C-alpha cells in the first residue's frame, strides 16, 4: 500500500526511510553525484578555485504560498547567499526535518519545487538527510540547505571596499515575499495578485559582479531593506541615506502595510539584490539589471561620512532615523 | 537586562538576533574564518584535493543526555560521516532552528559542547544560521551541520571493493547511545552508569584508513549495527554473517534491552565504526584499533557469497535472519 503520510518510521534508518529517500527525494533530486548509499559525497573542485560556503535554515509558514514554497525557497535562499557573494553555486546539500503526519503529496510538491529551482540555478544536490519528529514537534517540515560556490578571481567584493560617496541600488520592489506570506497565513479575507518575489538572483549578480565599481551586494531577506541598510552602516561606519520616493514598493504591498501597520522597509524579499556601487557606475549597474529583466531596479540612496546610522528622506521632504528592527513583525517568514 | 530565554525576536534578523549570534554563537564558535557579517565564508581548499561533503540533521530528545548533548552530537555526527569516508574534517556549518522559550543557559551549554567537539576534531565552524520557531513548533532546538572533508589520495574505500571472504569488525560495544538516550528520556526509575558512546571516531578511522585491505567503513547510527549490515548486504549482494557471541554489548545495555524488549543490534551508536577488511588484515586492523584506545574492538562476522541478506549465528548454535528495521523502536535518537 502506498504511503499517504509521513510516519515516525520514515526517520528510523530502516526500510521506510530507505523507501522515502528512494521514492521521493532521489526520484526528484537524483543525479550522478548524489549517492544515497555513501556517508559523504565527492565534490570535484577545480584547482586554485575560490570556494565559498554558506548555510541557511527554512521554517516558513505556510509551507506553500503564492509564488513559491519552502522547497523552492530553501534552494533560492542558499543560491542567493552565494550569488550576492559574487559566486556561482556548484553544490548543495539538503537536510529535512519532517513532522510526523505531513502528507506525502505535500512533501512531493516541495521536493519537486526544490528540484526545479536547483536545476534552474545550475546547482547539484550532492547529499541529504531526513529526520522525522513526532507530531507537535515541528511545523510540517523544516529544511536546511548548505551551498558551495566558486567565485571567479576577477570578482572582488567586500565591505572594506565601501566608502563615502558610494551609491545604493535595489533590483526591484521590496516586501513582496513578506506581504505574500502574510496574506497566505492570515485570514484577512483579502484576495489579490500579490506573489512572493522568491527567485534566484544569479542572473542579477552575474550581470554586475565584474563591474570594477561594484563594492558589495546583499539580498534583503529577514528584516528587509532596513536591516541590510543597518548592517551596512554598522560595518562601514558610514551614514546610509535612503530616498523614500525612490524605493520601489508595489501599490498592493503599500496598501497592505498601511492597513495592517507594517513598514515595507522591514518586510522580507527573497529575490532582490541590494548593491553598493561607485557613483560613476551606478547608472551602468542599473542599466544592466534592467537588461537582465529587473525593470524596476532603482538607485535608492547614498553613503555619506558621519555616524553609523540610517536616515530616510521622506516624500514630504523631512527625514527620519530608520531604527534597527527589534520586535518581530513576522516570525517564520523564511 | 540579560535575556534568559529565546524569543521570536531572536530570529527576526534585527537587533536581538545580532546579539544572540554575537553573545552566544560567535563567542563560543568564533574563529578567523567565521565572519558573521558575510553571506558566505571563503574556505581555502588545497589544489588537487579530494573534497567530500556531507550533511546531517539532529533532533535528539532529550537535548542533554549522559555522555553528550545535541550540540556535541551535531559535530560528532558530521565529523564521523567524513571520517568513515576516509577523510579529515576541515570545515563545518551549523544551522540552528530554535524553539521560542528555550533557556538561554541551555543553548549556551549546547553551543559550548559544540565548540569543544569541533576543536577536538580539528574542524572549523565557518558559517551558521539561526531561526526561531514559535513555542510548540520545535523540540527545543534542532541542529543541522554540514561538513567539508579532504581525503588523502592514498585512501581508497568503496562498496565496490567489498568481496566474499572479507571480514567485519566493530570498534566497540554497540547500543550505548540508544540505551543512554532511552534511559534519559523515560522515567523507568532506573539508574546506572550507562553513557552514550557519542564521540569523534577520527582516531579510529585514521588508524586504519591506509591499510591496503580496508574496503569500507560506516558508523552504525540510526538503526544500529543491523541496519549497517543490511545496507552492506544490499549494496554488495553478499550474505553478511554475524557471530552473536563476538558482537560486544555491555551488560547494562543487554539488561536494559531484555527488560524493555529491545534488540541491541538495532540500537544507535554514535562513536563506533564498522569496517570491512580483507581477511589477512583483520587482525592488524583490530590491533590498530585497540592501540588507539578501542579496547573492545572485535571481529564480528564475515561476508559470504549467496543471497543479499543478514544472518546471525546465535550463542546457542542456531542461526536467524536479521530483518530490516521497520517500526521505529526509538524515534529522535539522533
Task: Write out pLDDT tens, residues B179-196.
Answer: 999 888 876 666 677 899
User: Is a pLDDT exceeding 60 seen at residue B2?
Assistant: no
Helices A70-83 + A104-121 axis angle, to 10: 20
Q: What is the DSSP string of A178-230?
A: HHHHHHHHS---------------HHHHHHHTT-TTEEEEE---TTHHHHHHH
Contacts of B275 in chain A (CB under 8 A): none
CA distance B225 to B221: 8
Contacts of B16 in chain A (CB under 8 A): 326
* C-alpha grid cell, residue B299: 571481529
Element of type H or E holding B165:
none
CA distance A139 to B58: 16
Please name the residue that has the C-alpha cell 544572540. B20
Size of interface A-B (CB pairs under 8 A): 243
Q: Return the closest-CA partner of residue A43 out of A160, A101, A114, A123.
A: A123
CA distance B71 to B58: 9
CA distance B148 to A127: 12
- What letters, b where the CB count within 10 A reaches 16 and e where it falls short, cover A237-270? ebbbbbbbeebbbbebbeebbeeeebbbbbbbbb
Contacts of A144 in chain B (CB under 8 A): 55, 57, 95, 97, 129, 144, 146
The radius of gyration computed from the CA coordinates of chain B, to the nearest angstrom, equals 21
> Is A126 in contact with A43 (CB distance < 8 Å)?
yes
Residue-range domains of chain B with CATH:
8-151 (3.30.1330.10), 159-321 (3.90.650.10)
Per-residue pLDDT of chain A (334 residues; tens, 9 = 90+): 457 999 998 988 888 898 999 999 999 999 988 887 888 999 999 998 999 999 999 999 999 999 999 999 999 999 999 999 999 999 999 999 999 999 999 999 999 999 999 999 999 999 999 999 999 999 999 999 999 999 999 999 999 999 999 999 999 999 999 999 988 887 666 667 789 999 999 999 999 999 999 999 999 999 999 999 999 999 999 999 999 999 999 999 999 999 888 999 999 999 999 999 999 999 999 999 999 999 999 999 999 999 999 999 999 999 999 998 887 667 778 8
* C-alpha grid cell, residue A8: 515516525
Element of type H or E holding A150:
strand A141-151
Determine the distance in angstroms separating the CA of B293 from the nearest CA of chain A, rounded to an integer: 24
For residue A1, the model assigns a pLDDT of 42
User: Is a pLDDT exceeding 80 seen at residue B323?
Assistant: yes
User: Is a pLDDT exceeding 50 seen at residue B1?
Assistant: no
**A133 touches B: beta carbon within 8 Å:** yes
Q: Which of A56, A146, A235 sits opposite B37 (nearest CB)?
A: A235
> Is A273 in contact with A174 (CB distance < 8 Å)?
no
Render pLDDT for B72-120 as a digit per residue (tens, 0 to 9).
999 999 999 999 999 999 999 999 999 999 999 999 999 999 999 999 9
- Cβ distance of A37 and B96 shorter than 8 Å: no
Q: Return the closest-CA partner of residue A266 out of A323, A185, A313.
A: A323
Which among A144, A218, A272 is the top mutation candidate for probing chain B, defined by the most B β-carbons within 10 Å of its own β-carbon?
Answer: A144
**What integer best gives the mean pLDDT of chain B?**
94
Q: Which of B85, B138, B326 sits opposite A39 (nearest CB)?
A: B85
Determine the distance in angstroms separating the CA of B330 from the nearest CA of chain A, rounded to an integer: 8
Give A313's strand partners. Answer: A243, A319
Q: Where are the alpha helices (DSSP H) in chain A?
A: 15-20, 27-29, 70-83, 104-121, 176-185, 202-208, 224-236, 251-260, 282-291
Element of type H or E holding A239:
strand A239-243
Determine the distance in angstroms separating the CA of A252 from the nearest CA of chain B, rounded to an integer: 23
Three-class SS state of B10? helix
For residue B174, the model assigns a pLDDT of 98
The interface predicted TM-score (ipTM) is 0.95
Which among A14, A43, A78, A232 is the top mutation candidate for probing chain B, defined by the most B β-carbons within 10 Å of its own β-carbon?
Answer: A14
CA distance B251 to A13: 25
Helices A176-185 + A251-260 axis angle, to 10: 50
Q: Which of A37, A144, A328 sits opposite B11 (nearest CB)?
A: A328
CA distance B22 to B41: 17
Render pLDDT for B138-169 as a digit per residue (tens, 0 to 9).
999 999 999 999 999 999 999 999 999 999 99
For residue B190, the model assigns a pLDDT of 62
Q: Return the closest-CA partner of residue B330 out of B175, B195, B137.
A: B175
Please name the residue that has the C-alpha cell 549546547. B110
> Is B232 in contact with B216 (CB distance < 8 Å)?
yes
**A1 touches B: beta carbon within 8 Å:** no
Q: Return the closest-CA partner of residue A294 out of A314, A275, A276, A271.
A: A271
Q: Which of A8, A159, A332 sits opposite B133 (nearest CB)?
A: A332
The alpha carbon dihedral of A201, A207, A208, A209 has a sign of: positive
- Cβ distance of A56 and B91 shorter than 8 Å: no
Contacts of A146 in chain B (CB under 8 A): 55, 93, 95, 144, 146
Q: Which of A11, A14, A84 sits opposite B324 (nearest CB)?
A: A14
Q: What is the DSSP string of B40-101?
A: SEE----TT-EEEEEEEEE--SSSEETTEEHHHHHHHHHHHHHHHTTPEEEEEEEEEEEETT
For residue B229, the model assigns a pLDDT of 97
Counting residues of chain B whose pLDDT is more than 90, the rounded percentage is 84
Amino acid at each position: 500500500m502506498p504511503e499517504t503520510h509521513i510516519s515516525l518510521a520514515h526517520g528510523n534508518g530502516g526500510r521506510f526511510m530507505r523507501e522515502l529517500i528512494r521514492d521521493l527525494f532521489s526520484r526528484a533530486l537524483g543525479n550522478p553525484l548524489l549517492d544515497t548509499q555513501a556517508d559523504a559525497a565527492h565534490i570535484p573542485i577545480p584547482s586554485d578555485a575560490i570556494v565559498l560556503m554558506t548555510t541557511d535554515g527554512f521554517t516558513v509558514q505556510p509551507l506553500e504560498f503564492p509564488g513559491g514554497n519552502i522547497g523552492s525557497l530553501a534552494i533560492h535562499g542558499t543560491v542567493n547567499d552565494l550569488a550576492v557573494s559574487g559566486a556561482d553555486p556548484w553544490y548543495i546539500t539538503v537536510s529535512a526535518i519532517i513532522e510526523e503526519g505531513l502528507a506525502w503529496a505535500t512533501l512531493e510538491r516541495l521536493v519537486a519545487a526544490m528540484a526545479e529551482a536547483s536545476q534552474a540555478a545550475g546547482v547539484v544536490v550532492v547529499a541529504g538527510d531526513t529526520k522525522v519528529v513526532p507530531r507537535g514537534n515541528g511545523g510540517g517540515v523544516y529544511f536546511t540547505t548548505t551551498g558551495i560556490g566558486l567565485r571567479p578571481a576577477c570578482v572582488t567584493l567586500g565591505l572594506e571596499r565601501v566608502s563615502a560617496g558610494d551609491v545604493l541600488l535595489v533590483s526591484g520592489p521590496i516586501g513582496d515575499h513578506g506581504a505574500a506570506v502574510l496574506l497566505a497565513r492570515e485570514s484577512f479575507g483579502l484576495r489579490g495578485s500579490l506573489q512572493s518575489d522568491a527567485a534566484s538572483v544569479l542572473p542579477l549578480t552575474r550581470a554586475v559582479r565584474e563591474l570594477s565599481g561594484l563594492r558589495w551586494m546583499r539580498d534583503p531577506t529577514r528584516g528587509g531593506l532596513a536591516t541590510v541598510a543597518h548592517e551596512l552602516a554598522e560595518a562601514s561606519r558610514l551614514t546610509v541615506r535612503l530616498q523614500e520616493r525612490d524605493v520601489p514598493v508595489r501599490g498592493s504591498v503599500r496598501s497592505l502595510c498601511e492597513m495592517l501597520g507594517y513598514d515595507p522597509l522591514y518586510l522580507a524579499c527573497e529575490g532582490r539584490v541590494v548593491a553598493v556601487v561607485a557613483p560613476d557606475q551606478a547608472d551602468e549597474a542599473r542599466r544592466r539589471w534592467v537588461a537582465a529583466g529587473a525593470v524596476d531596479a532603482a538607485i535608492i540612496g547614498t553613503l555619506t561620512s558621519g555616524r553609523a546610522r540610517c536616515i530616510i528622506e521622506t516624500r514630504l521632504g523631512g527625514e527620519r532615523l530608520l531604527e534597527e528592527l527589534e520586535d518581530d513583525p513576522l516570525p517564520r517568514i523564511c
